[in-house]
Amino acid sequence: MNAPVAATAALERPVALSIEHVAVHFGGLVAISDLHFTVGEGELVSLIGPNGAGKTTAFNVITGFLRPTKGKVVYRGTPLTGLKPHEVTKLGLVRTFQRTSVFDSCTVFENVLMGLHRRVHIGLVATILALPSSTRAEAELREQAWEILRLVGIEHRASELGGSLPYGEQRLLGVALALATNPSALLLDEPVSGMNPTETGNFVRLLAKIRERGTTILLVEHDMPMVMGISDRVVVLNNGRLIAEGPPSVVQNDPEVIRAYLGQGAKSA
């Protein structure tokens, strides 16, 4: 195995997320053998590999859906191992899923507003009595909902039901719901899967806007031109083990990566 390339870009940033020698076993099956990498504050790192390489398992470990057999995950100095998913979210580490997860029977605006209400709790008594404090807070949440919808580019769909949106816009709504939690780090699981080239281009521009807010991003994606075009660093898994890490220009020409996943066309990807 080629030694993972040291990523100088990561060394220049404070570490936000650290995956430290994580292994995951399901009985006799080794899903991940020894995964270790970091993500710097404000960095965009892509985790790639063939189907079954362990990428989604790694996401599940990081976000509290799965406990590792060994190793640990640390976010901004706080160990995450053993925390429940909602506790990880409260720390600012939020994920999206491969499948769209929106409230189908609620409008797009209501979807985002509900996401905001999960983060900001307005007192029940104040709400029932329509006290000025609750009225002001509700108005602020509604304005935040509009800001998020404008950011992701679906404000024109605000009054439509979430379940009626085209697939690509449902994925954007899923990101809007994640942004409603005010995350400091986003884990995006195949966000452009099923999108056409125009939708993918729009999503890339959205990622740039999110990064301008200082948000750290860890991305799992199979769209290699996208990955190589937007990532600060790329981490490559194969059969549950790390085989390469480094800037896109280095990783896409790594012989073991080419053999395992990308194919000879990677050199021009």
Q: What b-and-e string marks burial along 169-200, b requiring 16 or more CB atoms within 10 Å of the CB?
A: bbbbbbbbbbbbbbbbbbbbbbbbeebeeebb
Return the CATH superfamily for domain 8-92+182-268: P-loop containing nucleotide triphosphate hydrolases (3.40.50.300)
**pLDDT level of residue 51 (50, 70, 90 thresholds):** confident
Is 60 exceeded by the pLDDT of residue 22? yes
* Interatomic CA distance for residues 98 and 188, integer angstroms: 8
pLDDT computed for residue 133 by the predictor: 54
Mean of the per-residue pLDDT values of the chain: 85
Using DSSP's 3-state secondary structure scheme, residue 169 falls into helix
Per-residue model confidence as pLDDT tens digits over 227-255: 999 999 999 999 889 999 999 999 988 88
- Measuring CA to CA, which residue among 248, 243, 214 is closest to residue 231? 248
pTM, to two decimals: 0.84
Please tell me the predicted confidence (pLDDT) of residue 57.
93
Q: In the 8-state DSSP scheme, what is residue 11?
A: H
